[in-house]
A and B are shown apart, each in its own frame.
Chain A
Amino acid sequence: MSDSLIHADDLRTALLQAQTRRHFLRTLGGGLGTLFLGTSMTKYASAANGAGHSESSNLDFTRDASSPLAELPPQFAAKVRRVIYLHMAGAPSQLELFEYKPDLKRLDGQDCPASFLAGKRFAFISGVPKLLGSQYPFHQVGQSGQWISDRLPHLEEHMDEICFIKSMHTDQFNHAPAQLLVHTGNARLGYPSLGSWVLYGLGTENQNLPGFIVLLSGGKSPDGGKQLWSSGFLPSVYQGVQCRSHGEPVLYLDNPPGVSRPLRRSMLDAIDDIDQQNYAAFGNPETVTRIAQYEMAFRMQMDATDAMDINKEPESVRVRYGSKPGESSFANNCLVARRLAERGVRFIQLYHWGWDSHGAEAKEALNLGFMDRCREVDQPTAALLADLKERGMLEDTLIVWGGEFGRTPMRENRNGQVMKYVGRDHNPGAFTIWMAGGGVRPGIAHGQTDEMGYEIVKDPVEIRDLHATMLYLLGFDHRKLNYSFQGLEQKLTTVRPARVVAEILA
């Protein structure tokens, strides 16, 4: 009996020794080899990738492990310090808002020419659809004389502040991949979002709030889901934090009954201690994320609730935005966005759902639901612009407004039938976005589409060009804001050449 026990012990010892030796050898040989390949191959990959550009110096984004969100200066003097991105999920129709196309109106109801359909793929259009003129009248406003429909009466007062890009192009015609492309530079899952890149590059000013905050309205999450604010392969400390616009901004942020703040602190200290040991042993950046999240949550208990509380704003301001405390509305989110911007939050991402105007039902009809969407965003967007301007913050804030693609100049005819409501199908070929704020030339429209608003005829702008331009305004050469992953110096603008749209810079 005892013999067999000793035998088992010996076996175990032998097994342990064998494992240790194997482990050692693997670490030594394989590890060194991998290290070498990892470093040298990355160099080759980046050299091939950056052919034609000087890749001599890479920017250093390393930070102390205890403060992964510490602020870093931009590469060059930045035009803006923060971004408020207003994403109209579902893709609003440019032909009902900003694209004035009288010829399309004239040809309303006629058969769509065959040249529009040859070689094209549509989400729903089949057979030969009819051309559809704008549902709303257009007029020119401001000193810049830009065209706008009658759906955005508040926003039109700010047209001289706004810079349109009417020649945006995408290669995705379904919502989720198109939104991923807009927000991560890639139509596939797994890439860091715009906000994550910015947070990685610049850190955040206010360490008591997340640096990248996401607010949703419109009753539904965008089709792209939480991937739209994920940090992809960047350490997850850079991912967007989705906050609620009323009540506790983050669920379970408050201490439960019977737990005092000092008690919470000593609990966190114990957890941190264990995590620090873990990090010292394995060096996994996700451990740093975990420590940072605990600490952030502790600090947020004080500051986040205050920052998100629009009841602290005077009545006059709430009226201006059209916000009603307690609702989950775009108006409330715009007001919160301004409060967050004031507090040094780097990237504020709003999503307003419901712009997918196919015309299959009343709430997504251009002549019904679309009017409600316009009403929901018009006043708050205008108020946000005005408010930031008064406070001198439009100088160093970049506001971006837009969807994920455009809509067709043809009326949607699902299954070849005339539909009950009026709608348009997806058009990746051309769409309109606008920007306002620091470094952007106000009161201009860049790019041009054909007479039908169907395809770009002048100055096309790819999504990656938009990203390069945004990063430029934030003080970066988009090629230098990179992160080594899978042997490639990964960039928001991917490996394809991107151009900073110099024409829209002030």
Chain B
Amino acid sequence: MTEWGQRISGQLRFVLFTLPFVLLVLVLVAFFPPDGNERAEWAQFIGRFHPLAVHFPIALILLVPILELAGLNRNFSYLRLSARFILGLATLSATLAAMLGWCLARSGGYSGPIVVQHMWGGISVAAACWLCWLLRTRASEAELGMGYRVAIVASVALVAWTGYRGGQLSLGEDHLTEHMPVGLRHVLRLPESASPTVDANTFYGARVQPIFAARCITCHGPNKHKADLRLDSYRAVMLGGKDGPVVRAGNVQASDLFRRITLPPGHDDFMPKEAARPLSVDQAKLIELWIGSGASDTLPVDAIKGAPGASPSTAPAEVTFEEIDPATVAKLRAAAAPMVAQLQKRFPNILDYESRSSANLSLNASILGAKFGDSDLAAFVPLAGNITVADFSRTAITDRSAGAIAAMKRVRVLRLMGTGISDATVEALDTMDQLESLNVFGTRVTAAALPAVVKLPRLAHFYAGQTAIPNSVAIPQALAGKVVF
């Protein structure tokens, strides 16, 4: 047999060998499309290997252009000899991966546009590999045909697209952009957050949707709609699945959703499936109450009396910590920052931000003691609106600073302990409507200042020990329980 003949027969053998598999995938997909139902164990067991197996053809297909390009260099020309073999291997493995994918989609209860796109993408990849292989076999060693080049580029693009769709299926639709930094997000004009909003003031939004979100939407959500049912929005919940509505407003017993979550675990119809633990008694109760009350999405959150877990105020609240966004903090601080830096330099250690997440300032001049006087305090007037805690204890300030102190309108805590101030300063504070704690311990302040103190709307503590105000003074009604001697 001639050399040409050998090549033809080799090619033919490969075609005859691979074609049935490619056709088989097409037949399977055409006649038994994924429909969201779960089926036979074997198919599902085998199907679970799909995510594992797909990486094999992906790597092989990407290797081909690398071999071809590197082979252009004379020193690596031997690499090109392998391209055809790798392509053959890629075709076989892509076909196998496609079949496994079908097993998974058909038996694992998948449906939805992304599944369909991923499925056709996978089949196209297998077909494209096959085509590439054919073209590569025909091409001469010296010159690769234009058709082959186009086919290879198309295959690689197809692999990228299909892989992305697959990633969306297993990792979530926004798996690539989910953790994108805010700045980049802005440049690419992506929305700030991808999660849909629900009205947290409604019973549905605050109490019911979180249960669905936590326990159900992995299978009945945007990515998988098992049994054609989605539970990721109120509309979808009320729409139901392939067996009709799952929630019948006002009729708990006729609502399939409630029936399934309250069946004994292990029952065929029991939800959530797949060895997930059942919903808690409280969760089931909340859903029952919600359906019983008409399954509304506008019912206010506190409308149902006796709902378990009740309002957040009675539940033992856990402490949460918010992430600090340095950019936001910097923006908050921008206006005052140069002045703050200047004063920090002039008065080390006494002025700092209230916290790393805040632009509010805390001023503690007590550290400087008698070295800090009225003229020093005047230097802080430009920042008056930013200071929320001001401690002038044991400093040399006097009534001359009254105006500068009163300008700090956002101060919550003001300490004037052991200073030279008197009633005049206290009387000047009537503009400080945020003041919660006022300390005049050990000053010359007298009972005559009390009427001015009464006018402070948010005041909770007035420290008046060792002043000219006697313990026995008649405390105005508005200050009852607030004066500490």
Contact = CB atoms under 8 A, between A and B. Distances in A.
> How would you classify the secondary structure of chain A's contact residues: helix, strand, loop or mixed?
loop
Given A75-B356, A392-B415, 15 more contacts: A57-B323, A73-B356, A75-B324, A76-B357, A77-B354, A205-B350, A205-B367, A344-B366, A390-B441, A390-B463, A391-B465, A395-B437, A472-B319, A502-B317, A503-B316
A206 B348 CA distance: 10
Interface in A15-73: 54, 56-57, 59, 70-73
Contact of B355 (A77, A480, A499, A505): A77
Contact of A502 (B318, B323, B349, B441): B318
B412 to A, nearest CB: 10
A392 B349 contact: no
A72 to B, nearest CB: 8
Interface in A59-99: 59, 70-78
Interface in B436-485: 437, 439, 441, 461, 463, 465-466, 484-485
A396 B360 CA distance: 17
A475 B321 CA distance: 10
Contact of B484 (A57, A342, A389, A472): A389
B367 A343 contact: yes
B393 interface: yes
A395 B461 contact: yes
A70 B367 CA distance: 14
Contact of A76 (B316, B318, B355): B355
A389 B463 CA distance: 9
Given A76-B321, A342-B393, A502 B316 contact: yes
A203 to B, nearest CB: 9
A488 to B, nearest CB: 20
A358 B319 CA distance: 39
Nearest to A472: B319
A174 interface: no
A475 B461 CA distance: 22
Q: Which has the most chain B C-beta neighbours within 10 Å: A57, A78, A343, A390?
A: A390
Interface in B170-197: none
A76 B355 CA distance: 5
Contacts of B466: 390
A160 interface: no
A499 B318 CA distance: 8
16 contacts: A57-B324, A57-B326, A71-B349, A76-B357, A77-B354, A77-B358, A78-B355, A207-B349, A344-B366, A390-B484, A390-B485, A391-B439, A391-B441, A392-B415, A395-B437, A472-B319
Contacts of B360: 77
B353 interface: yes
Given A205-B364, A342-B366, A391-B463, A73 B441 contact: no
A500 interface: yes
Interface string B109-130: 0000000000000000000000
A56 B323 CA distance: 9
Interface of B: 316-319, 321-324, 326, 348-350, 352-358, 360, 362, 364, 366-367, 393-394, 413, 415, 417, 437, 439, 441, 461, 463, 465-466, 484-485
Contacts of B355: 73-78, 475
Q: Which has the most chain B C-beta neighbours within 10 Å: A344, A392, A475, A477?
A: A392
B445 to A, nearest CB: 14
A76 B319 CA distance: 12
A344 B367 contact: yes
Nearest to B361: A73
A37 to B, nearest CB: 25
Contacts of A502: 316-319
A72 B465 CA distance: 32
B367 A392 contact: no
Contact of A73 (B348, B354, B465): B354
B439 A75 contact: no
Contacts of A205: 349-350, 364, 367
A390 B465 contact: yes
A392 B321 contact: no
Nearest to A499: B318
A375 B288 CA distance: 60
Contacts of B317: 502
A54 B323 contact: yes
A50 to B, nearest CB: 12
A364 B87 CA distance: 86
Contacts of B356: 59, 73-76
Nearest to B368: A206
A390 B415 CA distance: 12
A297 B352 CA distance: 25
Contacts of A75: 321, 324, 355-357
B461 A477 contact: no
Q: Rank and list the top 8 A-B pairs by shortest CB-CB distance, nearest first.
A: A392-B439, A392-B463, A500-B319, A477-B321, A390-B465, A73-B353, A77-B355, A502-B319
Contacts of A78: 355
B352 A73 contact: yes
Nearest to B351: A71
Contacts of A475: 355
Given A77-B354, A342-B366, A392 B484 contact: yes
A76 B321 CA distance: 9
Interface in A386-410: 389-392, 395-396
A392 B366 contact: no
Nearest to A60: B356
Contacts of B349: 70-71, 205-207
B162 to A, nearest CB: 30
B367 to A, nearest CB: 5
B24 to A, nearest CB: 43
Contacts of A472: 319
A342 B393 CA distance: 9
Nearest to B358: A77
A331 to B, nearest CB: 21
Contacts of A343: 367
Contacts of A389: 484
A74 B321 CA distance: 13
A77 B322 CA distance: 12
A503 B362 CA distance: 28
Nearest to B322: A76
A392 B367 CA distance: 16
B346 to A, nearest CB: 15
Interface in A352-387: none
A472 to B, nearest CB: 6
A71 B349 CA distance: 7
Contacts of B394: 342
Nearest to B464: A390
Interface string A183-210: 0000000000000000000000111000
B434 to A, nearest CB: 14
Contacts of B465: 390-391
A481 B360 CA distance: 22
B323 A206 contact: no
Contacts of A70: 349
Contacts of A207: 348-349
Nearest to A344: B367
Contacts of A505: 319
A492 to B, nearest CB: 16
Nearest to A479: B321
Contacts of B357: 75-77
Nearest to B460: A395
Contacts of B321: 75-76, 477, 480
Q: Which has the most chain B C-beta neighbours within 10 Å: A74, A391, A480, A505?
A: A391
A342 B439 CA distance: 14
A364 to B, nearest CB: 39
A245 B286 CA distance: 61
A207 B367 CA distance: 9
A296 B367 CA distance: 15
Q: Which has the most chain B C-beta neighbours within 10 Å: A59, A73, A206?
A: A73
A391 B463 CA distance: 7
Contacts of A503: 316
Nearest to B318: A502
